[in-house]
Structure formats: structure tokens, C-alpha cells
Structure 1
Amino acid sequence: MSALDIRGLEVFAGARRLLGPLDLSLEAGRCLALVGESGSGKSLSLAALLGLLPPGLQSRGELHVDGQAIALGSAAHARLPGRVLAWVPQDPQAALHPLRRVGDQLAESLRVLRGLDRAGAQREALALFGRLQLPDPPALLRRFPHQLSGGQRQRVLVALALAGRPRVLLADEPTSALDPRLAREALGLFDQLRAELGLAVLLVSHDLPMVAAHAQHLAILRGGELVESGPAEAVFARPAHAYTRELLAADRLPVAEAHAPGPELVRLKSVRITYAGQAAPVLSGIDLELRRGECLALVGESGSGKSSLGRALLRLMRRGVAGRILFDGEDLLAAPPGRLRALRRRIGVVFQDPSASLDPRMRVHALVSEPLRIHGLAGPAARRARAGELLQAVGLDPSLAGRWPHQLSGGQRQRVAIARALSTDPELLVCDEAVSALDAQHRAGVLALLGRLKRERGLALLFITHDFAAARALAERCAMLADGRLQAVGTPGDLLPGAVPAG
């Protein structure tokens, strides 16, 4: 039985069509996955369905619910979100209000969408948290988003989506920020809700292995056009369109070739990290080394301390770090401000989300050359020329130097972030989940770029990731964190047997 039929969905910017026409059917109790590279129109489709298109864009088409045709943009369409259509955004940390308790946010949705009084909203909130298997619902309702784990925040978003008893869940990249275990749990939860409540799920994802395990139907977008659709099993087994074959090929990453590393560049000795207000350390007894020309993958589940260790190495944590972090023989933790500034010129960093790490008010050439300006290494003309060289080095056309970040694709933005990290010719590059937000093609391209730069420049790479396949494709060695301790160090093949690509 169809829960929602989408007919002739189109999105325009003036006279230019950005998306469509799309015809899709969402069946009760089943999952339809919408797949494609960054910029293909996946999230734009969800925004049009929810009536959340940005200013300047217009939608056209119809939604069919219970035999009734509802025009996009009409008053009837405006009544669907929250009640018929519910949205699970990509980033729980950004979607939840940081200054309000999660219980208050859920109770507000219940009162608005279902007209419940305060006591009724409280009872229903407890019931929803229980259904979603959140621990100790009464206590959890009183917490703020930052006091929850990544998996718990994701389930709170699902509770908010279920508040209006919708028929269709629109899930926008719900696993991209989660480690493999939490990603499996999140999609397993959607499967459970489909079975128990008869929900239809429209899953936007670039994680093809996850899609293969959970979606019954597949729709492939490219440049705003639907290029292939059909039963997921058939599309994966016999892809008809060349673009679908490219997507599947890009997700199969090669294993990194072993290279003899150079001399030691970084050594961590008995590093211990403690956050204010917490009695137990986040990490303790960490001993690691990293050599020139080598990539060390730091892996572990969410909350294992991977990013904390990276921030400690970058001296982005002012307090709570004990032990020694030696960079080329000098202790970063003991370095005075002037010396620390000089050492930081030799270290580059690439963060997870280029949309957040690149200043939207700066053009590409200014972003790439910003470290040169900060360290006083060149004048304006030389910085502009250097930006062009760096863009070329990371596989981008220097003509992009005059663009703004929003005018680039996700893969292009991450390459700009890498170019910026290389601007001072660093000897160490710290990559914190640098490919987790990218689709399969951009992910493969950025990993190949990092591997080439490592070989050509003799860079040492600390690659922080929960993506086992990416670790196997780039790293010579792997360090696994769990329960605040370093559990094992070895080759990715030894520590990550049977690793499969993960978004």
C-alpha cells in the first residue's frame, strides 16, 4: 500500500531547472533509498517535500495522499510536515537546541502536533523514549543535548520525528556522522519502526553497503535527474546505467601499499586526557609513535577519545592533558607561546565538515592562503599565487580561487581544506574524520589525494576515522582505542579483518 506518491517533483531557480521531474512511490513499511553524489539533488528533494526550500527556489509537482492530490507549495502541503511527513536531519548536534533540555523540545512538539496538555506530553515523551530503547527515560528527558552520546542524540531526533504520528520518515544521511556500530543500530531502528508502525522511509544516503542491507527500492540521482530506479537487489546485482556502475566501483577502495617509513616525527608518552568535572580520564596511558611518510589510522567508536587525542596533539586543549607529546623531539605540551606558534607552522589539520571549517565570507584564495597571512610568510600577491599552486596540487582548477565555499561541491570544499592545511608545507597532517561526510566518489578521490601527498611530500598522517575501509586504503598502521585505553597497534589488515566500506 502506498503511503505517499510523488508526481512530477521539480525545483527551479528562476527559469533553470535544478531537479526533476521525479516520480517516486513510498510504500508503507518499506524503505526507498535516494542515492547520488554531492550536488545530485538528494537533500534538495527532501527540502521540496518539506516546503523548506531556500529563498529564490521554487518547487512544482504533486503529492498524492489517501487518493488526494496536493500541490507543492499549497496550504494543504504546508499542513503535511510533522503529521504526514517527518524529517530526521543529518546532524543531531546541530538540529537539537543546545540550551533546552531534550524533554522540553519533545514535549513542545507533542503539544503542537497532537494538542496534548503538559501531563499528557510528559507521558507520551516517556513512552517514545522507551519505544526507542533510550536508557532511563525520566533522567534522559532532563538532559541537554551535549550530555548525550551521538547515538542517543540520533534517537532523540527520531522521537521528535515520531511526535506527530507521521506516515513517512524522511531521513537525510542519518549515519554519516556515526561509527559503524551506531550506524547499524540507527538503520536497524528504522527497520523496526517500519515493521511495527508501518512507516515508509525515504532514506537519503551515500553509504551504498548500508543501503544494500536496509532498502528495498533504490533511486539514483545525478545532476538533479533520476537515472535509474528499481528493486535494490536488482540494481546492485545488475546496474543498468554507467553512473550507477561508477558509484558502486568508487565504493570498493583498494588496500594501501606498504612503504618503508622514515625517521620518527611524533611520539606520545603516557598521555592522559581529563575533562573538567569528570573524575575518570577520557584517555590514559597512551603511548604511540608516528614516522615521516607514514599514515597511522586512529580508530574507535564514538566517544572512544579519538578526536580528543587529536586536539591534544594540536594543543587545542588548554587544560586536562598530561604526559608528553613530542614533535620532532620537542614537547608540545611544554612549549612556550612563541615556540608553539613556530611548531604549529609545521602541522596542518583537516576537519570533518568543510562547510563548517571554511569561512563562508572568504573566497577560496583567501581561505587557502590564510595560514600564510597568519604566520606572516608572504605578501598579498605571493599569497594569491601560492593559493593557485596549492589548488592545482590538490587536483582543483586554479580558476576556482575566486569562488565562495558555497559555490563548490562537497569534495571540492574538502580539497580546499586540504590545500589550506598544506599552505605552510607541514610535516604532519592531522585528518579528523576527513572523509566521513563525503559520497563514495569524493571519498575515494580525497583518499587517493592524501595517499599521493603522503608519498610525494613525505608527510606523516594521523588519520582519525571510524571508517574501516578508509583506514585500510590509506594507513600502514592502525591504533585502536576503546574504554579510554589503547587496545592494540598493528596493520589495518590485522586489526580490521573483514572491514567493509562505511559511509
Structure 2
Amino acid sequence: MTLALRQLDVHAGARRLLGPLDLALAPGRCLGVVGESGSGKSLTALSLLGLLPPGLHARGALTHDGADIVFGSRAHAALRGRVLGWVPQDPLAALHPLRTIGAQLRETLRVHDQAETQARALLSRVRLPDPDAALKRFPHQFSGGQRQRIAIALALCSAPRYLIADEPTSALDARIAREVLDLLDALRREDGLGLMLISHDLPLVGAYAEDVLVLRRGDVVERGATRAVFAHPQHAYTRELIEADGLPVGGPSGPISSETAIDSKLGPEGPPTKNQALLRGEALSMRYPRSATPALDGVDIALHRGEGLALLGESGSGKSTLGRALLRLLRGAQGRVWLDEVELTALSGRALRVMRRRIGVVFQDPYASLDPRMRVGDIVTEPLRIQDFGDAAARAAKAGELLVAVGLEAEMATRWPHQFSGGQRQRIAIARALACDPDLLVCDEAVSALDAHHRREILALLATLKRERGLALLFVTHDLAAAAAVAERIAVLDAGKIVELGDAAEVLRNPRHAHTQALVDARRL
């Protein structure tokens, strides 16, 4: 009993995007599909699910339990749910923003004739804190990691025979990522669930997948038993992926952390010059509606010019909430914020907009943060247009300069976002954040969705921009290695409070707080 693809090709008109590709999903086994951004991993999943975007067409043979199924047919659509479950990469886009989590779970459970009482049990099974309260809350009231666990619960509602997990842990810290993968692995072993694990994270795939398929630019370059492929990669690209993730050629011998070391030469070159704080927050607090505990609990924080400060913590620790509170992006946040001795919390309207010229922001998801209906040049210079800087010709010239500054080409300004890989899109997002020549750059999990190769490049770019432009960098992350690469200081958050603050190297080498020690230990496992 298998679900199999033979000679799959995906085309956009006359252009081939993927294939020919063969794969088989078997009950109780895990197949890892790996490759960098743009390799065809997600196209493979969407072809199996019959969810290819308009304009793309799949050809080949699809069989389930020996029966032939026509791509795009009713029989193909019927696989979704009871046969094929799907955990998409972006849980925020997958969850309805105007409906509670409970309503979304109950809808799926009713469709598949399951007891509504399973909704609470599912949230417990994916280790979401306080399931009773969670059922009444909306997607925006959860952290990125918590939303991913909700997406997994939704995929499990119909008890599928096979589960396609598309980058299921890209937004999660090491400990929670391991918990989520342990859960999926338990389902595979205990319930005979066939698992297709799509990831750019080779340590993760090495820890959980028995077989692996390596894709590069739509082609299968290597396949086989995971241990054998990792121990003796036959293709140069496979070896390059293994080395980029910091793995020894020879293969994993057990569960490996998905956090990999970043070359220390990418990191900051010494402490910043001591001067007046550029950004200060005082007594910052935030409690979301229907939440029993505060997301942010009386935090004081300061960031100096030219300094990199990493806000480090697990999903739900309050790090992103703190970042948004400092940016005045949260309604209901309490406390005071100053930028260069101007109190942002006392400003509104045009006065606040003028001060925001001095702040650039790079968000987590390079796919969701760029408007697909705008050309790249217009995206990059949108802050200039909003702030009434220059005419169209001046803004176009500035777009070219910014694209070159982030390692792209000026001619790319005429292209659309879908024509770029994830790493290139994040460079575009950084170019946009630099448009108004800010003093402060805020990055919220800016590399968590990227593969090892592109993650290293973006971290190097951020370190260079900080050094050359004298930027203050507020770097929100769950990745200890990424924090060490760009920040001189680290603030560790847990339950809405800063539990440790100090020199980055010292905090990671000799953590004093038990929670920091747990984070460091999770990375080492």
C-alpha cells in the first residue's frame, strides 16, 4: 500500500520547472526531500496534493494502492484529507485570521465526521499550552511556533494515512522543533503514518528520515537511504549541502540539532562605541485578550548606535512581542519607548510617521512580506514614496543602488517577487528596509525560513551593513548561532521577561540562568 509518483514533470507553458521525478510514500516510513530554495521541493508536494498554482501543469503517473489517478481529477482531490494531510510552511497564511482556532478545528472535524471533543485533545497532542484557552483565541494571538503546531493539529484532524510536512519547523527554536518532529515521528511509528518531510535543514532530515531525495533546480541529483547518502554523497551538490549545514561527511548517528554553527568571522568585530542609547524601552508590558499570562512583563531595554542586540528565546517567550512594542506596532502595549531621546510612545499621526523614517524592518517570511503585485523596484522604494522622498526617477535610481548594496543587480528592479528565491527575496526585503537610510534595523526571525547556504549569506550581509553603515541592529531570533553571528549583546527572554543579558560570547559560553542553559543544551543535542 503506497502512494507513488512516476515520471512527474511540472511545466509553466513550455518551461520545465520540475522533473522527471519518481517517489513513493509508504506507511510507517519517512521520506526526506531536501534542497535549497527554488529546488522544487514544494512543487513536488503541491503536485501530490493537486494544489499547483494556476498556470502550472503536472504530467506523469500517480497511483494509490495500485490504482491509477489522473492529475486534477475528483479522485485526486479526494486524496486530500483522509489519505493525504498537509502541514504548509506558512501557518499564518494557512489559518483563517478572523476565526478562532476552535472554530477552525471543529469545522475540519465535522467535515470528517469526527467528535468535536478531539479538538482539545489535538491541541494537547501538539503540546500547545492551555488548550482550553487556545480554542477561543485567534491566529494572530499566537507566536509563529505555536501557529505551526496548530497547523499540524489541523492536518491530523482527518487521521490521514500520509502526511506531507513542508518545512514544518523553519520558524521553531531547536527544542520545540525537536518536540514537533518527535511527535510526527511517534505518529509514523505508532499509527503507521507515512511521512514526507520537506526541508532545507539537513541535520533535521538526517535525524528523522530513513530515505532522502535531493533536488537541485527541479532535478533529482541523488536519492537513497539517508545514512548512506550522508556518509557517501555521490553528487557534488549533495556534498555542498552537507558541508553548508556544518555536518561531517560520514552521516548522522542519531538526532542532530537543527541549529548549526556559524563561522565566527561573520560576527561583529568588537564591542560598539559606548554612547547615548539610540533606542530605549522602559516598563514594557503586553497582555493579549483572553490570555491568562502576560506576553511581556515589565521589560527595560537599551540599544546603542552601531550595536547588535539579539532578542533570543523560544517560541512564545515574548521576543517578537518586545520587538513590536518597541516599534509601536502593538495596540494595548504599556510602557515608554524613546528613539534618540524622542519619546515614540508620546507621538501619533505625522510626527510618528516622520520618526519611523529612521527605522527599517525585515520580517520573518520573505514570501509573505513582498507584495506579489508590485515590481521589485516599487517594493524597494515604497518607503520613499510613503515618506514623500524624491520623484519617480530619483526613487528608481535609488532602487538600483539599494539592490546592488544587498548583493543583487540593479536590473532586477523590473522583475516580480515570484521570480526570486527565498534568499533573494530576503535581500529585497533588506533593501526596502534600508531605503530611508535608517539608524536602526529591526530583523524579526529574518533567516529562520532560509536554508543553510542562504542563511549564512544573509547573516554576513547584515553584519557588513551594520559595520559599514553604523546601524544599530535589533535581531529577534530563536537561533543561537545566528545571534552570535550579528550581535555583540544577547537578551534572553522567557515568559515575557529578560532573564539574562550580556556579552553575546559570554552568555552562550557561560550561561548563568537555567533557561539560557536549556537553550544552549538544546542546540548541542
- The TM-score normalised by the length of structure 1 is 0.90
Query: Are 1:206 and 2:200 an aligned pair?
Result: yes
Determine the C-alpha separation between the residues in 2 that align with 1:41 and 1:33: 13
Task: Give the structure 1 partner of residue 32 of structure 2.
Answer: 33
Look up the match of 2:472. 460
Q: Residue 249 of structure 2 aligns with which residue?
A: none
Partner of 1:405: 417
1:354 is the counterpart of 2:354: no
The reply to whether residue 286 of structure 1 matches residue 299 of structure 2 is yes
Look up the match of 2:189.
195
What do residues 349-369 of structure 1 show as CA deviations (whole Å, max 9, x unaligned)?
111123322222221111212
Counting aligned pairs with the same residue, the percent is 60
Indicate the residue corresponding to 2:7 in structure 1: 8
Residue 27 of structure 1 aligns with an amino acid whose one-letter code is A
Per-residue deviation at 1:302?
1.6
Gaps of 5+ in 2: 247-261, 510-519
* Paired residues of 1:481 and 1:487 also in contact (CA < 8 A): yes
Aligned length, in residue pairs? 495
Cα contact 2:359–2:440 (8 A) shared by 1: yes
- For 2:202, the aligned partner's letter is L
- Residue 161 of structure 1, CA deviation: 2.5
Does 1:305 find its partner at 2:304? no
Q: Determine the structure 2 residue equivalent to 1:437.
A: 449
Alignment of structure 1 residues 103-252 onto 2, 5 Å: 103-113=102-112, 116=113, 121-123=115-117, 125=119, 128=122, 132=126, 141=135, 144-146=138-140, 150=144, 153-252=147-246
One-letter code aligned to 2:398: R
CA contact (8 A) 2:146 2:316 kept: no
User: Would the alpha carbon gap of residues 36 and 501 (structure 1) be closer, same or farther in structure 2, given more than 3 Å must change?
Assistant: farther
User: Which one-letter code corresponds to 1:206 in the other structure?
Assistant: H
| Number of the residue aligned with 1:380 | 392
2:458 equivalent to 1:446:
yes
Map residues 261-272 of structure 1 onto 2, 5 A cutoff.
261-262=272-273, 263-272=275-284
Change (3 A) 1:351 1:160: closer
Question: How far apart are residue 51 of structure 1 and its match?
Answer: 0.7
**In 2, Cα distance between the equivalents of 1:276 and 1:24?**
45
Per the alignment, do residues 451 and 384 of structure 1 end up closer, same or farther by CA in structure 2, a change over 3 Å counting? same
Distance in 1 between residues matched to 2:435 and 2:129, nearest whole Å: 47
Q: Alignment partner of 1:174: what SS?
A: coil
* Partner in structure 2 of residue 494 of structure 1: 506
Letter in 1 for 2:57: Q
* TM-aligned CA distance change 1:493 to 1:61, over 3 Å: same
Contact persistence 1:3–1:168 (CA under 8 A): no
Superposed displacement of residue 461, structure 1: 0.6
With over 3 angstroms needed to count, the CA separation of the structure-2 counterparts of 1:473 and 1:225, relative to structure 1, is same
* Residue 321 (structure 1) aligned with residue 315 (structure 2): no
1: CA distance between counterparts of 2:501 and 2:111?
A: 52
Aligned CA distance change for structure 1 residues 459 and 332 (closer, same or farther; 3 Å): same
Worse overlay, 186-195 or 279-288: 279-288
Q: Distance in 2 between matches of 1:58 and 1:391?
A: 33
Question: 1:88 maps to what in 2?
Answer: 87
> CA offset at residue 170 of structure 1?
0.6
Alignment deviations for residues 172-199 of structure 1 (CA, whole Å, 9 cap, x no partner): 1111122222211111110110011111
Residue-by-residue CA offset, 1:265-320 (whole Å, 9 max, x unaligned): 42435332223646854323423332222211111112222122212222223543
Identify the residue that residue 263 of structure 2 maps to in structure 1.
254
Deviation at residue 103 of structure 1 after TM alignment: 4.1
Residue 18 of structure 2 contacts residue 40 of structure 2 at CA under 8 Å; is this kept in 1? yes
Which moved further from structure 2: 17-26 or 314-323?
Answer: 314-323
Distance 2:214 2:110 in 1: 38
Judge conservation of contact 1:469–1:500 (CA < 8 Å) in 2: no
Q: Return 5+ residue gaps in structure 1 as ranges.
A: none
Q: How many Å apart are 1:397 and its aligned residue?
A: 0.7
Whole-Å separation in 1 of the counterparts to 2:83 and 2:298: 52
> Is 1:275–1:320's contact at 8 Å kept on the other side of the alignment?
yes
SS state at 1:361 partner: coil
Describe the shift of the 1:101–1:297 C-alpha distance in structure 2 as closer, same or farther (beyond 3 A): closer
Are the aligned partners of 1:352 and 1:437 in contact in 2 as well (CA < 8 Å)? Answer: yes
From the superposition, tell whether residues 405 and 499 of structure 1 become closer, same or farther in structure 2 (CA, over 3 Å). Answer: farther
Match of 1:98 in 2: 97
3-state DSSP class of the match of 1:122? coil
Residue pair 1:21, 1:225 contacting (<8 A) in 2 also: yes
Distance 1:156 1:320, change over 3 A: closer
Q: For the residues of structure 2 that align with 1:316 and 1:144, how far apart are their CA atoms?
A: 18
CA distance in 2, matches of 1:332, 1:142: 33
CA 1:60–1:276 in structure 2 vs 1: closer, same or farther (change >3 Å)?
closer
